Amino acid sequence: MELTSRDKQSTNPLLQIWGKPYGLPPFGSVVPAHFKPAFDLAMASHMAELESIAKQSSPPNFDNTVAELDRSGRELERITLLFHNLTTSETSDELRAVQTEMAPLLAAHENAIFMHAGLFGRIDALYQDRGRLALDAEQLRMLERIHLDFVRAGARLTGQQRLRYGAVMSELASLTTQFSQNVLAEEAAFALQLRDDKDLAGLPGFVRDAARAAAEQRGLGPGAFVITLSPSLAEPFLTFSDRRDLRETVWRARKSRGANGGAHDNRGVAARIMVLRQEQAALHGYASYAEYELVDRMAENAQAVFDLLYQAWVPAKEQADLDRVALVDMARTLGQPVPIAAWDWRYLAQKVRAQRFDLDDAELKPYFSLDAMVAAMFDCAHRLFGLHFVEQPGIALHHPDARLWEVRRADDSLVGIFIGDNFARTSKRSGAWMSVFRSQSGHAGGTLPIVINNNNFAKAKPCLLSFDDVRTLFHEFGHGLHGLLSQVRYERLAGTQVLRDFVELPSQLFENWAMEPQVLQRHARNYASGDPMPVELLEKLKRSRQFDQAWATVQYTGPALLDMALHSLPNGTPVDIDAFEAEQSAKLGIPADIGQRHYLSHFQHLFSGASYAAGYYVYMWAEVLEADGFEAFTETGDPFDKATAARLLRTIYSSGNTQNPADAYRAFRGRDPRIEPMLHKRGLKAATTA
For the segment 565-592, what is each residue's pLDDT rounded down to a tens digit?
A: 999 999 999 999 999 999 999 999 999 9
Distance (Å, whole) CA 430 – CA 232? 10
Q: Say which residues have a Cβ less than 8 Å from residue 55's Cβ, sequence separation at least 6.
A: 118
Residue 55: in which H helix or E strand, if any?
Answer: helix 35-55
- Beta strand pairing call for 414-423 and 450-457: parallel
Residue 400: in which H helix or E strand, if any?
Answer: none
What Cα–Cα distance (Å) separates residue 276 from each residue in 289, 371, 601? 10, 45, 17
Question: Does residue 563 contact residue 614 with C-beta atoms inside 8 Å?
Answer: yes
Distance (Å, whole) CA 548 – CA 354? 12
Distance (Å, whole) CA 324 – CA 550? 10
Question: Does residue 615 contact residue 501 with C-beta atoms inside 8 Å?
Answer: yes
| Three-state SS at 56 | coil
| Active site amino acids | 476
Residue 444 pLDDT exceeds 70: no
Question: Does residue 176 contact residue 603 with C-beta atoms inside 8 Å?
Answer: no
- Select from 589, 607, 597 the least CA-distant residue to 254: 597
Instruction: Give the 3-state secondary structure of 298-320.
Output: CCCCHHHHHHHHHHHHHHHHHHH
Distance (Å, whole) CA 276 – CA 291? 15
CA distance between the termini of the chain: 74
Distance (Å, whole) CA 17 – CA 309? 48
For the segment 259-303, what is each residue's pLDDT rounded down to a tens digit?
A: 999 999 999 999 999 999 999 999 999 999 999 999 999 999 999
For residue 580, the Cα-to-chain-centroid distance in whole angstroms is 25
| Three-state SS at 11 | coil
Residue 194: in which H helix or E strand, if any?
Answer: strand 192-194
286/687: higher pLDDT: 286
Question: How would you class 33 by CB atoms within 10 Å of its CB: exposed for 0-12, middle for 13-18, buried for 19 or more?
Answer: exposed
pLDDT score recorded for residue 3: 40
pLDDT band at 66 (very low <50, low <70, confident <90, very high): very high
Q: Say which residues have a Cβ less than 8 Å from residue 365's Cβ, sequence separation at least 6.
A: 204, 206, 464, 465, 466
pLDDT score recorded for residue 461: 87
Q: Go through the domains of the chain in sequence order and give each one's CATH number.
A: 5-156 (1.10.1370.40), 190-256 (no CATH), 366-497+505-513 (3.40.390.10)
CB atoms within 10 A of CB 609: 15
pLDDT score recorded for residue 689: 42
pLDDT score recorded for residue 222: 84
Question: Does residue 293 contact residue 615 with C-beta atoms inside 8 Å?
Answer: yes
Distance (Å, whole) CA 633 – CA 630? 5
Q: Quick one: average pLDDT of 130-144?
A: 97
pLDDT score recorded for residue 221: 80
Residue 106 pLDDT exceeds 60: yes
Look up residue 63 and give its amino acid: D
What are phi and psi for residue 629, nearest 5 degrees? -70, -40
Q: Quick one: average pLDDT of 24-50?
A: 97
What Cα–Cα distance (Å) separates residue 307 from each residue in 128, 291, 618, 681? 35, 16, 13, 19
Question: Does residue 511 contact residue 499 with C-beta atoms inside 8 Å?
Answer: no
Residue 2 pLDDT exceeds 50: no
221/258: higher pLDDT: 258
- Select from 419, 457, 463, 460 the least CA-distant residue to 438: 419
Distance (Å, whole) CA 90 – CA 21? 21
Can the peptide bond before residue 339 be classed as cis, meaning omega within 30 degrees of 0?
Answer: yes
Output the DSSP codes for 548-585.
THHHHHHHHHHHHHHHHHHHTSPTT----HHHHHHHHH
Question: Does residue 670 contact residue 659 with C-beta atoms inside 8 Å?
Answer: no
Question: How would you class 626 by CB atoms within 10 Å of its CB: exposed for 0-12, middle for 13-18, buried for 19 or more?
Answer: buried
For the segment 477-493, what is each residue's pLDDT rounded down to a tens digit?
A: 999 999 999 999 999 99
- Beta strand pairing call for 225-227 and 403-408: unpaired
- Select from 564, 202, 451 the least CA-distant residue to 350: 202
CB atoms within 10 A of CB 578: 13
pLDDT band at 4 (very low <50, low <70, confident <90, very high): low
Q: Quick one: average pLDDT of 78-93?
A: 97
pLDDT band at 1 (very low <50, low <70, confident <90, very high): very low
How many contiguous H segments (helices) and E segments (strands) does the chain have?
Answer: 28, 7
Residue 146 pLDDT exceeds 70: yes
- Select from 323, 382, 394, 327 the least CA-distant residue to 548: 323
Residue 60 pLDDT exceeds 90: yes
Is the CA virtual torsion 582, 587, 592, 597 positive or negative? negative
Q: Say which residues have a Cβ less than 8 Å from residue 620's Cβ, sequence separation at least 6.
A: 308, 309, 312, 556, 557, 560, 678
Q: Quick one: average pLDDT of 220-245?
A: 94
Across all residues in the chain, what is the average pLDDT? 95
For the segment 160-192, what is each residue's pLDDT rounded down to a tens digit?
A: 999 999 999 999 999 999 999 999 999 999 999
What Cα–Cα distance (Å) separates residue 420 from each residue in 230, 316, 389, 470, 621? 18, 35, 12, 14, 27
For the segment 8-22, what is each residue's pLDDT rounded down to a tens digit?
A: 567 899 999 998 899
- Beta strand pairing call for 414-423 and 388-391: unpaired
pLDDT band at 6 (very low <50, low <70, confident <90, very high): low
For the segment 618-668, what is each residue's pLDDT rounded down to a tens digit?
A: 999 999 999 999 999 999 999 999 999 999 999 999 999 999 999 999 999
Q: Quick one: average pLDDT of 83-101?
A: 97
Is the CA virtual torsion 193, 197, 200, 206 positive or negative? positive
Distance (Å, whole) CA 245 – CA 247? 5
Residue 151 pLDDT exceeds 90: yes
pLDDT score recorded for residue 690: 40
The CA-based dihedral angle spanning residues 91, 94, 99, 102, taken in that order and rounded to the nearest 10 degrees: -150
Distance (Å, whole) CA 226 – CA 219? 11
Question: Does residue 570 contact residue 288 with C-beta atoms inside 8 Å?
Answer: yes
Look up residue 251 and give its amino acid: W
pLDDT band at 545 (very low <50, low <70, confident <90, very high): confident
